[in-house]
Amino acid sequence: MNHLAASELILNKDGSIYHLNLLPEQIADTVILVGDQDRVGKITQYFDTVEHVVQKREFHTQTGTYKGKRISVLSTGIGTDNIDIVLNELDALVNIDFETRQIKEKKTSLTIVRVGTSGSIQADIPVDSIVVSKLGVGFDTVLHFYQSEQVQLQDFNQALEEHLDIYARNSKPYVVPSDEALAEKFMSPGVYEGFTGSNVGFYAPQGRVLRLPLKDGNLRDKIATFEFKGKRITNLEMETSAIFGLSKLLGHKALSLNAIIANRATGEFTKDGVKAVDETIRYCLEKLTEA
């Protein structure tokens, strides 16, 4: 086994992992990821106990128990670039020995569920609904820096590239599935099956215009009208694709739950985003603790 140099596996003076500031014993095998650090407490308010509270920069972690199940809740901040940090450091916490700086022979597989807000791009997926993402498509570049072809759905990639017709100058999209068993566990009447797009920004990359004109004014419509093998892109956000891709590569089980707070097709925005997010949080906790 290779010894990981101090410049590659960076540890703080107390032995914690560099960005997350966590020690291995402070993380559970089930992890809920949120973007907003203030959302961490909105989840752990339902916990029976909280044993660890750690924060560094935007990375806020609380670990405790809900109905006897040990769960960590961690804020990632916005974007797939932050997901690159979070997923690699979560994996290091369970699969690298910090004392010897060597990769463990026996690997731990984490269960990782993102709970976030998102905008629907299909008129029939209403505001205040929950989308369970079975597929994620990345319009970013994170996964292209890894040997990741084996976890990507290459036929979807090709179909998207041809449909969008924009990738002579942009990165190629990549499609990665969630964990199949985990997704099926979270599906139930009243929630929507999702194919979630992760963008590199909130405005132009998602087709929004304030003062700056778009390079491709038809991008949002192109994304919304894509259909392949009976699947269409349902909603847009900024993290899911990298969570799915890196989890697949590292051997973890991942899913994304989306509270739909906007409908880009109809122009609607939620009247009570707090309630929509809270309902998604409670749905997540109940599904995680179901037998």
HEC letters along 153-200: CHHHHHHHHHHHCCCCCCCCCEEEECCHHHHHHHCCCCCEEEEEEECC
| Pick from 125-134, 178-187, 217-226, 254-263: least confident | 217-226
Percentage of the chain modeled with pLDDT above 70: 98
pLDDT at 2: 76
Both tokens of 103, joined, read: 């990769």
Residue type, 1: M
pLDDT at 159 over 60: yes
Question: Looking at residue 169, what is its pLDDT?
Answer: 63
Q: Are strands 235-237 and 253-263 parallel, antiparallel or unpaired?
A: unpaired
The pLDDT of residue 106: 96
Q: Which residue has the higher pLDDT, 96 or 169?
A: 96
What is the average pLDDT across 72-85? 97
Q: In the prediction, which pLDDT does 1 show?
A: 52
Rounded average pLDDT over 163-175: 80
CB 92 within 8 A of CB 99: no
* Residue 185: predicted pLDDT: 97
pLDDT of residue 168: 62
pLDDT at residue 44, as a whole number = 98
Per the document, the length of the chain is 291
pLDDT at 91 over 60: yes
Residue with tokens 């299909």: 122
pLDDT value at residue 291: 77
Is the confidence at residue 165, as pLDDT, over 90? no
Mean pLDDT on 196-206: 93
Determine the average pLDDT of the residues in 85-90: 98
Q: What is the mean pLDDT of residues 28-33?
A: 98
- Within a 10 A sphere around the Cβ of 4, how many other Cβ atoms? 18
Percent of the chain with pLDDT over 90: 91
Confidence of residue 216 (pLDDT cuts 50, 70, 90): confident
